Amino acid sequence: MLLTVTDLHASYSGIRALAGVSLNVAEGEMVALIGPNGAGKSTLLNCISGIVQPSAGQIRVEEAELVRRPAWAIARMGILQSPEGRQVLPNMSVLENLQVGANALHGRRPTHDLDAVFRLFPILQERQEQLAGSLSGGQQQMLAIGRALMGGPRLLLLDEPSLGLAPVIVQQVFEALAQLRRDGMTILLVEQNARKALQVSDRAYVIEHGHVVTEGPSRELAQDNSVMAHYLGTG
């Protein structure tokens, strides 16, 4: 396993967000985390990337323990997050944002150069001189993913990449994710859009109230009516 999370707990000022989550992601696998609002999905990603400190549990990438490492050190290991809400650098150009992403490489081998990011998201090439803050929401989302790719991810953490985007753009983002999966990128994907997340991923975990309530191959979960009805809405 590339990533192994064991019995992870986290809370915010005493409010429990994760209550003993265990999961794993193998190299080259795309794993989806799905479940209702407030289930703890973002908290889990933020614990892995070092933004939130868990109160107990382990997060291992191969043999390295991530808990209590600073976020910058985790990024330099190639554990790279494209955060919810995108958070591109608005006053820098598209090109500069992508170049900043490459800082995380820190001597590791790149997985994607500029051309590769532009092949995945051609609109970024067209807009490369434009300020990131002037892009549409969908283009900013593509830029946030492209920036993470420039850092040579060993594990790419994606938090709600389709949130707030028009359906045609959601489709483009998911097509890019499918391409990344075919390329063998290891991805942990948090998504509200369960149907799409289950279409694109290999396996999934359903999280509710800080617990894993169901897990399995995505194809099986997508056909499980009780999962779709109870946990996921219609997507």
The binding site for ligand ATP (CB under 6 A) comprises 12, 15, 17, 35, 37-43, 192
At residue 73, the 3 state secondary structure works out as helix
Shortest distance (Å) from residue 150 CB to ligand ATP: 25
Q: Helices H, strands E: what count in the chain?
A: 10, 10
Shortest distance (Å) from residue 24 CB to ligand ATP: 19
DSSP E strands, the chain: 3-12, 15-25, 30-34, 56-61, 64-65, 79-82, 155-159, 187-190, 203-208, 211-217
Nearest to 190 by CA among 89, 95, 83: 83
Our CB check for ligand ATP shows the closer of 120 and 156 to be 156
Shortest distance (Å) from residue 109 CB to ligand ATP: 32
Our CB check for ligand ATP shows the closer of 120 and 165 to be 165
Q: Determine if residue 135 is left, alpha or beta; phi over 0 gives left, psi from -120 to 50 gives alpha, anything else beta.
A: beta
- State the Cα–Cα distance between residues 88 and 119, nearest whole angstrom: 20
143's tokens: 């830029």
Our CB check for ligand ATP shows the closer of 117 and 145 to be 145
Our CB check for ligand ATP shows the closer of 20 and 116 to be 20
Shortest distance (Å) from residue 94 CB to ligand ATP: 27
- State the Cα–Cα distance between residues 110 and 88, nearest whole angstrom: 20
Shortest distance (Å) from residue 7 CB to ligand ATP: 17
Give me the residue label for tokens 């590339």. 2
Shortest distance (Å) from residue 159 CB to ligand ATP: 7
- State the Cα–Cα distance between residues 201 and 29, nearest whole angstrom: 8
